[in-house]
Chain A
Amino acid sequence: MKPFVKTRLILLSLPVFLGSCLFNDYPVDEDGLLITERSECYVSSFQLVGTDYQTVVFNDKSIVLGNGIDTVACTISVKVKYGTDLRNVYPQFSLVTDAKLEPKVTGFTDFSDYKNNPPRYTVVSGNRKVRKTYTVLLEEHEYVPR
């Protein structure tokens, strides 16, 4: 084989070789997301919006770590506004870096049966080895005439 043909073959195969090395180091999961070395696994903030994409959380409160989110008990406590239509709410989670959520939130969700069947979402860490299931504890305000 001529020397320049050899050189070209080596150069062409180099990116393939490097690519395979990279993918071996950082594999992707079934969703095509990078699996990393991070083992942190928690929800950092949470929001619940209605059909007008405005918050339905009472007093427009921000639900964040230590203020509605309990990472030990794995709960998210949410008080919703009086009259919130819980059949059509859009939960929005912020997770620690590289983590993902199961099941995926794909749009408006029915939380109306929260008393019998509280919504549960599992956070999976970046290394996909730690799983923590969070329960969304909803509370509705009711009007009691005085």
Chain B
Amino acid sequence: MINKRSRFAVLCALCLVPFLLFTSCENEESTPAFQNKCIKRSLGPNVAGQEIEFVYAVAIQPGAGRLVSAQVEASIAGAPATYLEHRSYHTAVNGIETAVVVGNPCVNSGNITQVEFTADTCAAALRYFYAIPEEAKGKNLKFIFSAVASNGERVSMEMGEYRIAEMDIKLDLAVSASQCYISLEDMAVYTAAQAAAVPGKIDLVYLYRNYNVDTVVFNHAFVAPATGVVKYLPGVTLPSGVNRDTKIRNTGIKDAHLARLHQKGEAQPAIYIDDIDLREMDMSRMPNYALDIITNDGMWLETQDGIYKAYIFANNMNRGRAGGTISIKRLKIK
């Protein structure tokens, strides 16, 4: 015998059935035949000379048509290296990322990058690499991703805004016993003869000394060419007029833009130095030398006139001999 409470429960369940049927039908009907989605893949601050990477996925239901074209419109035209992949990427069953050619190589026209599909496909995931131009520094960027299907339908998606950092970046500058005068203004390394031509721009001297004494570890050093640190410039005859006093602060930070440790098979933490880090780094009372710099060490710097603040990463310091490779991030403060 069914009691009153059970009867009420059955009645409620029966009432819910048409409601569930109605809502499920409504969802099916509202699913568009042509859809698009976009994600930003690159991390960290956006710096001129680097890329911003997106993945743009478009799909149309098989019966509704096929893909005709996809394009990206940037609010500021990218540098010439900007491109939209004409290959669609997917992860194969073995976990390997696999590319399939789906169209002609992209065409850049002003701030628009377009790919025409040649394959008869109803879905694609294209990668877009926006090469950040110099003129975008300090500005905000927006992107409109769109695609057109053979049935004339168009879908689009806006991404951004993204702030472009004001800093400059220079990768993999070689330093050696002769190529040892570093200018933060030029973000370049000069020989003594070249430094003599631009003495007011030389902020740092690279040197290597192996004292072979138990109590002193000098090795690779970066020293300001100021008069007070002659002690740390043994055997160095500075070119005439090279006398700037640069503040240096050692740091253990491994900026991902500069370090790129993953390329060496090491773990690269997602740490990025941004404009604000350089701007707010307190360099008062810092010394003007850094000794025993080894591979993967970092340094904050401030030029004598306070115009530039920078971060230098030692990508490689040769073991037991002079020479190495450094990368620089630099911000004009004044």
Contacts and interface: CB of A to CB of B under 8 A. Distances in A.
Contacts of A143: 211, 213, 215-216, 218, 234
A82 B215 CA distance: 7
A119 interface: no
A58 B292 CA distance: 12
Interface stretch (A33-41, A62-70, A83-91): A83-91
A47 to B, nearest CB: 15
Provide the main secondary structure of the chain A interface: loop
A141 B215 contact: yes
Contact of B286 (A58, A88, A110, A145): A88
A57 to B, nearest CB: 12
A13 B96 CA distance: 68
B38 to A, nearest CB: 40
A92 B139 CA distance: 44
A52 B252 contact: yes
Contacts of B285: 87-88, 110
Contacts of A53: 252
Given A82-B217, A141-B216, A143-B216, A52 B251 contact: yes
B287 A87 contact: yes
B249 A81 contact: no
Given A51-B249, A51-B250, A83 B291 contact: yes
A82 B249 contact: no
Interface in A44-102: 50-54, 58, 81-83, 85, 87-88
Interface residues of A, number: 18
For the complex of A and B, the 4 pairs showing the least CB-CB separation, nearest first, are A83-B291, A52-B250, A85-B287, A141-B215
Interface of B: 211, 213, 215-218, 221, 232, 234, 249-252, 285-287, 289, 291-292, 297-298
Given A52-B251, A143-B218, 9 more contacts: A51-B251, A52-B252, A58-B215, A83-B232, A87-B285, A87-B287, A88-B249, A141-B216, A143-B234
Interface of A: 50-54, 58, 81-83, 85, 87-88, 110, 141-143, 145-146
25 contacts: A50-B250, A51-B249, A52-B250, A52-B298, A53-B252, A54-B252, A81-B217, A81-B292, A82-B217, A82-B218, A82-B291, A83-B218, A83-B221, A83-B289, A83-B291, A87-B285, A88-B249, A88-B286, A88-B287, A110-B285, A141-B215, A141-B216, A142-B216, A143-B211, A143-B215
